[in-house]
Structure 1
Amino acid sequence: MYKIAVVGDYDSIYGFAALGLEIFPVADRKETEERLIALAESGYGIVYITEAAAAECEQIIGKFQERLLPAIIRIPGVFGNTGDGVQGVKDSVEQAVGSDILFSNN
């Protein structure tokens, strides 16, 4: 079984510890990139990352998107939400289903 990690600022991620997920607070871009690399090399299957933290290290995240694992999923945080997390989930569902499930013909 793969492990699940949550990366971002402490205020945004501390609640995930109550769900049994491992949290990794980060303070800056360098620390975030180092943490992502370490998690990928340690056998994590899913890494949730706050949108603000992901925005700082798009290049390293892009490298991981070419790999099967870990799946890096953007989530909203308490600071600096960009909508990328929701858009990423929407794009994934659209790709899996074959159409935009939120589109309506009203």
Structure 2
Amino acid sequence: MHRIGVIGDRDSVMPFKLFGFEVVYAIAGEQVRETIEAMAQRGFGVIFITEAASELATETIERYKAEMMPAIILIPSHQGTKGIGLKEIQENVERAVGQNIL
């Protein structure tokens, strides 16, 4: 079974510890990039990352989009959503189905 990681600011990702996920507080670009790389190398299956943190590591995230693992899922922070995660889902559905059904 693959592990699940969560990256972002403390207030947004702390609750994920309750589910047994590995949580890393990262708010600087280099921290976020290094954490994604480390989790990928350690065989994580899914990495949840806050939308704000994802903006600091766009190239790294783009590189893993073509890979089967890890799946990088954008989630809103405790301050609310920026719409980035929903946009990603809509684009993936459109690519898979041929049109936006959401």
Aligned-residue offset at 1:51: 0.4
**Partner SS, residue 56 of structure 1:** coil
2:2 maps to which residue?
A: 2
Q: How does the TM-score come out when normalised to structure 2?
A: 0.88
Counting only pairs closer than 5 Å after superposition, residues 1-106 of structure 1 correspond to structure 2 as 1-79=1-79, 81-102=81-102
Aligned-residue offset at 1:15: 0.8
Aligned-residue offset at 1:18: 1.2
Q: Give the Cα–Cα distance (whole angstroms) in 2 for the partners of residues 33 and 80 of structure 1.
A: 22
Percent identity of equivalent pairs: 36
**CA deviation profile, 1:15-55 (whole Å, cap 9, x unmatched):** 11112211111130011111000000000010000000000
Asked whether the 8 Å contact 1:46–1:73 carries over to 2, the reply is: yes
Asked whether the 8 Å contact 1:52–1:80 carries over to 2, the reply is: no
Aligned residues: 102
Which residue identity lines up with residue 100 of structure 2 in the other structure? D
* Bigger radius of gyration: 1
Q: Give the Cα–Cα distance (whole angstroms) in 1 for the partners of residues 19 and 97 of structure 2.
A: 29
**CA deviation profile, 1:51-93 (whole Å, cap 9, x unmatched):** 0000011011111112211111111012474211111122233
Aligned CA-pair RMSD? 1.6
Q: Give the Cα–Cα distance (whole angstroms) in 2 for the partners of residues 37 and 65 of structure 1.
A: 13
**Partner SS, residue 35 of structure 1:** helix
Q: Give the Cα–Cα distance (whole angstroms) in 1 for the partners of residues 24 and 97 of structure 2.
A: 33
Give the gaps of 5 or more residues in structure 1: none
Give the gaps of 5 or more residues in structure 2: none
Q: Give the Cα–Cα distance (whole angstroms) in 2 for the partners of residues 27 and 47 of structure 1.
A: 15
